Structure 1
């Protein structure tokens, strides 16, 4: 019998218990899933970073901590966490992000906002350029960034990408290093950020890098709020250097009602809906990692503590 601790808020139970139970059975695993296992009996911790476990030191038998979220920045630096940590990458989460990114890139590419706001009788029949003439930059070429980049290439956009390590993705011109970042920013009409939040990426898009973007460029950030210097972004929008920012992740969530983003005419706020962990698809990833852990095989999506993701 494998003891799995469900270390998540109680409100998660209704959505997750059924999918996890079915996934364990499909994988041939005999798992006792509970939020009440004694720490010394726990083999695996299924973790929501907003859940009840913040001290991992009592879990002396645990073989791994399996995160329910893609982001691990709230837990990766916990000094009590000595067990292997796996982040969540699942088909539903990836599909949701691809749909969000493709939808908002197309929205800005086609100028849909202007048509929605047009006064009755306004008839500007200027056609937008084709996708092939609208370069897009993808900052972050991990699982989510790569999937989004491939979808945009399929739609006909020229896509450049920037990441911490070299990547080879058909149809995507990729770069690394700070000089590569500046070139990537300067070459795009639309910039999408899907980087993890680490000490190296905190405020990566500061005043200098926002200034390096093309005049009129659009920023789409479904990644992490801390990637962007909020004040610098507002200043770049105010002076007209950037055309718009569509933001889905923020330093404080929910975004406070008095935050300037809510009221800025060149900002679209979406309430962290770009993608979510969907129990029906993510449960299979949890089950597979437990199967791997029991078989002594490498875990999927193992976090590199030095990199922070």
Structure 2
């Protein structure tokens, strides 16, 4: 029985080292090195080639290297009986909270504005807002969304949350379902997207949604690039309805050189670094699921495929 690591966009060396430190006798292959596909029962993966797993007749578990699983579930050739797991990690959660807080603070204090003013050698003061006077809406109240909401609450922001189904989260005003989306958006001077990527949420950040935000609202996307209709965002910024956006995720990564986001004065770009998985932090839970699979015990953090998260 073998473990396969599939990570075309990531250096697998630290993952192999961390797994072998946890399980010295574990037989590990790194795709695409030669290996016996029938031996593989457990896969650790990030952005695998589409259709790859149909070649593994005995695979039982596919473990995402991160919190997101859309890169696995979007594969139409995914074996039907395989279980998919995600990572839930305190370090990832804390990092996401810190990142979103920094982006929100940068916006209300105008720090991005001053970076651009400095390049133009302009002594141009910005009328800032205080956290107590700022309403922030969080779309998606999973582990990361709740952590971000709590971080913002502790820093005195007025926090609102929206999810597909009802969630009772402490210290925030909760909304759920399509019927309550418009009221939630009307209270979101800053909108943070932390939704899972599903058929229902793809392209959800579009002109119709932006139109329900208050004039001058600001958008932060730290979920997936496929949530955003890019043309709609630029149009709503250019016509003045939105004041700008901070984007950490994109439909194509790295963002192509010719993409108009690079040159847009009111769009701030970071290269998908809001919350980065560290192998030494998450391998223990992946290794535990390996042990659980071997003992036919229930797995941790199993994804509900029909929901997409």
2:106 corresponding residue in structure 1 = 107
Query: Which digits, 9 at most, give the CA deviation of each residue in 1:30-60, with x for residues without a partner?
Result: 522223542222231111223x573323433
Alpha-carbon distance, 1:291 to partner: 2.5
Distance 2:202 2:259 in 1: 20
1:59 partnered with 2:43: no
Distance 1:282 1:17 in 2: 13
1:186 partnered with 2:186: yes
Partner residue of 2:77 out of 76, 79, 103: 79
| TM-score normalised by L of structure 1 | 0.89
RMSD: 2.2
Q: 3-state DSSP class of the match of 1:88? A: coil
Q: 3-state DSSP class of the match of 2:192? A: strand
Alpha-carbon distance, 1:23 to partner: 3.0
> Does the Cα contact within 8 Å between 1:223 and 1:249 map onto a contact in 2?
yes
> Does the Cα contact within 8 Å between 1:136 and 1:157 map onto a contact in 2?
yes
Distance 1:234 1:117 in 2: 19
Distance 1:308 1:19 in 2: 28
1:143 corresponding residue in structure 2 = 143
Q: 3-state DSSP class of the match of 2:200? A: coil
Alpha-carbon distance, 1:124 to partner: 4.4
Distance 1:295 1:167, change over 3 A: farther
1:49 corresponding residue in structure 2 = 47
Segment drifting more, 262-271 vs 32-41: 32-41
Q: 3-state DSSP class of the match of 1:94? A: helix
Q: 3-state DSSP class of the match of 1:159? A: strand
Alpha-carbon distance, 1:262 to partner: 1.0
Distance 1:222 1:10, change over 3 A: closer
Matches within 5 A, 1:82-101: 82=80, 83-101=82-100
2:26 corresponding residue in structure 1 = 31
> Does the Cα contact within 8 Å between 1:49 and 1:67 map onto a contact in 2?
no
In structure 2, list runs of 5 or more residues that go unmatched. none
Query: Which digits, 9 at most, give the CA deviation of each residue in 1:201-240, with x for residues without a partner?
Result: 1111211110111111110111111111111111100011
Distance 1:203 1:38, change over 3 A: same
Alpha-carbon distance, 1:97 to partner: 1.4
> Does the Cα contact within 8 Å between 1:3 and 1:37 map onto a contact in 2?
no
| TM-score normalised by L of structure 2 | 0.89
Matches within 5 A, 1:201-216: 201-216=201-216
Distance 2:11 2:262 in 1: 29
1:172 corresponding residue in structure 2 = 172
Distance 2:144 2:50 in 1: 27
Distance 1:196 1:136 in 2: 19
May I ask how many residue pairs the two structures share in their alignment?
A: 302
Alpha-carbon distance, 1:277 to partner: 1.5
